């Protein structure tokens, strides 16, 4: 590693900063974060987060502004998929189409990243991550306003898997307000989860209950999709985060898996307890020479719009297509831009002509014509400005509704799919253990005040399964 690598992990209750250089952890510091700035991985107060990040870098005298940052798995959809092999020039479009099929929301509402894990003549195995747009945009903007230049990002559970770098294991990172789970099989994260605890300041026993219930759902889901190779009870357990040896032993016993010591990381750390900083270590490993030799995923989920480099034409096309789904029409944006540019050009020429007209009366007719054209174009530009404002407002509203619906689900409801359109509203399909949990979920949605109406369209038993399936319509 020729230069220092700076990593930043933004938790609900603290900021974790790590600087690695020449194979050593030179700085590892955790700074408390005021309650309410970040909740379940989503930035609620961008200005205060900007101030906190800037003060942390100033107080620790970290001069480098290039950072690798973590993004909460609560704002990410992770999928492992296999698609028919296609020529490289067609891969991005094939991934987009597969994303439309497997993601619970339209890819036009996501920043989509992917990595090819293996390839044969017939099929390609890849992982893809879809980040909900508003939360990632707010987080990146806060870091940029703090003077930082994020050039890589990764989802927290994937960073944990990279830091542990074991072919198999259950990884659980426990924080004050949230916890993350990564289930790794054959060196690849198969399932990831990022969830909040029901309330702050829970006891260890209360946290154990929440983690155990989510672990049971995670294992059940994995086994249902891998009937030929279900998860073994001998799977090793790796615990990290804000947890000591006694709590780790107690949690391990409660879950019924063998707790293993964290593997040796490739950085000297001089007695530092690495458990709280395992996400940072996973981020730092993205920038080392050994990154390609570490099994599993190594995506850069930072959206392309924040890259300084020139994007290939194929990525420009993919980005344009995604923006089309959110904003309504690329043509509309292009028309607005051309209209503005033409108006500016005509206005500039008009000023020049008006100056010359003072001494050359023969140009008066041309000046009048330019004035007429500029006046005709101004209402058109204003009209497109209003259209763009409306589209952006609709996008923010849709993103807020998706976040509210996901947060309200909690640990008792599993969301399988969400479909949204401005005309018909939001439709949620999923499962719960009982019908009462479905109706309780509907009540929580009503209490948010975000939706004009909340309708339970259907609740029905699924033969052969203990859960009930439901469909909700929200306006």
- What is the pLDDT, as a whole number, of residue 330? 38
Consecutive H or E run containing 27:
strand 24-32
Long-range contacts of 52-61 (CB under 8 A, 24+ apart): 52/15, 53/8, 53/10, 53/15, 53/142, 53/143, 53/146, 53/148, 54/146, 54/147, 56/15, 56/17, 56/29, 56/31, 57/17, 57/146, 57/147, 57/148, 60/17, 60/27, 60/29
**Looking at the domain that runs over 410-474, which CATH code has it been given?**
3.30.1360
3-state secondary structure at position 33:
coil
Burial class (CB in 10 A: 0-12, 13-18, 19+), 70: buried
Give the length of the chain.
Answer: 475
Spatial distance between the Cα atoms of 338 and 389, rounded to a whole number of angstroms: 17
Let me know: does 472 contact 456? Beta carbons within 8 Å: yes
3-state secondary structure at position 272:
coil
**Pairing relationship of beta strands 169-174 and 236-241 according to DSSP bridges:** parallel
- What is the pLDDT, as a whole number, of residue 345? 58
Q: What CA–CA distances, in Å, run from 316 to 31, 310, 311, 313?
A: 39, 9, 6, 5
Nearest 5°: phi and psi at 182? Answer: -130, 125
Residue among 15, 11, 50 nearest 31 (CA): 15
- What is the pLDDT, as a whole number, of residue 292? 58
Count of CB atoms situated within 10 Å of the CB of 147: 12
No. of helices (H) and no. of strands (E), the chain: 11, 19
Consecutive H or E run containing 29:
strand 24-32
- What is the pLDDT, as a whole number, of residue 413? 87
Let me know: does 131 contact 76? Beta carbons within 8 Å: yes
Spatial distance between the Cα atoms of 71 and 286, rounded to a whole number of angstroms: 14
How much is the pTM?
Answer: 0.66
What are the start-end ranges of the H helices in 109-240?
133-145, 156-164, 204-225
Spatial distance between the Cα atoms of 69 and 156, rounded to a whole number of angstroms: 9
Residue among 247, 173, 151 nearest 206 (CA): 247
Q: What is the mean pLDDT of each run of 10 residues along the chain (475 residues)?
A: 85 97 94 95 96 97 96 95 93 95 94 95 95 96 97 96 95 96 95 92 91 94 92 94 94 94 90 95 86 74 77 46 45 53 58 55 63 75 71 75 84 85 83 88 86 86 79 87
Spatial distance between the Cα atoms of 141 and 15, rounded to a whole number of angstroms: 16
Block residue for tokens 């890849």: 126
Q: What CA–CA distances, in Å, run from 439 to 46, 195, 317, 431, 443?
A: 34, 21, 43, 12, 6
Write b or e for each residue in 412-439: b if 16 or more Cβ atoms lie within 10 A of its Cβ, otherwise e.
ebebeebebeeeebbbbbbbbeeeebbe
The CATH number, out of the four listed (3.30.420.380, 3.30.450.40, 3.30.1490.120, 3.40.50.720), of the domain defined by the range 5-323 = 3.30.420.380
Spatial distance between the Cα atoms of 384 and 357, rounded to a whole number of angstroms: 33
């Amino acid at each position: 590693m020729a230069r220092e690598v700076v990593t930043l992990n933004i938790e609900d209750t603290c900021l974790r900063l790590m600087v690695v250089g020449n194979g050593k952890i030179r700085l590892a510091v955790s700074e408390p974060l005021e309650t309410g700035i970040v909740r379940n991985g989503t930035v609620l107060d961008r200005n205060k987060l900007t101030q906190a990040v800037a003060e942390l870098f100033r107080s620790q005298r970290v001069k480098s502004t290039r950072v690798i940052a973590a993004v909460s798995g609560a704002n990410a959809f992770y999928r492992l998929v296999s698609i028919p092999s296609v020529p490289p020039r067609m891969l991005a479009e094939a991934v987009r189409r597969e994303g439309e099929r497997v993601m619970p929301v339209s890819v036009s509402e996501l920043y989509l990243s992917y990595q090819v894990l293996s390839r044969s003549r017939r099929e390609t195995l890849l992982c893809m991550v879809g980040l909900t747009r508003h939360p990632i945009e707010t987080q990146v903007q806060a870091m940029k306003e703090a003077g930082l230049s994020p050039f890589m990002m990764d989802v927290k559970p994937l960073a944990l898997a990279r830091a542990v770098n074991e072919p198999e294991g259950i990884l659980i990172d426990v924080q004050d307000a949230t916890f993350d789970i990564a289930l790794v099989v054959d060196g690849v994260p198969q399932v990831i989860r990022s969830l909040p605890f029901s309330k702050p300041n829970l006891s260890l026993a209360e946290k154990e209950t929440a983690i155990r219930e989510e672990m049971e759902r995670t294992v059940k889901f994995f086994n249902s999709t891998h009937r030929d190779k279900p998860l073994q009870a001998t799977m090793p357990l790796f615990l990290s985060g804000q947890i000591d040896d006694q709590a780790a032993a107690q949690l391990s016993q409660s879950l019924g898996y063998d707790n293993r010591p964290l593997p040796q990381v490739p950085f000297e750390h001089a007695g530092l307890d690495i458990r709280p900083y395992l996400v940072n270590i996973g981020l730092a490993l993205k920038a080392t020479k050994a990154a390609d030799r570490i099994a599993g995923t190594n995506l850069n989920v930072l959206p392309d719009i924040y890259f300084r480099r020139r994007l290939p034409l194929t990525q420009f096309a993919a980005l344009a297509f995604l923006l089309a789904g959110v904003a309504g029409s690329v043509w509309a944006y292009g028309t607005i831009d051309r209209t503005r540019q033409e108006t500016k050009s005509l206005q500039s020429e008009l000023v020049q002509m008006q100056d010359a007209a003072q001494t050359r009366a023969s140009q008066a007719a041309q000046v009048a014509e330019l004035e007429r054209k500029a006046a005709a174009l101004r209402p058109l530009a204003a009209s497109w400005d209003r259209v763009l404002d409306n589209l952006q407002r609709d996008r923010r509203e849709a993103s807020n509704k998706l976040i509210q619906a996901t947060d309200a689900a909690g640990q008792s409801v599993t969301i399988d799919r969400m479909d949204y359109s401005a005309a018909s509203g939001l439709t949620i399909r999923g499962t719960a253990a009982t019908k009462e949990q479905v109706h309780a979920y509907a009540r929580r949605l009503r209490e948010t005040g975000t939706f004009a109406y909340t309708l339970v369209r259907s609740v029905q038993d699924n033969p052969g399964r203990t859960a009930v399936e439901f469909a909700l319509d929200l306006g």
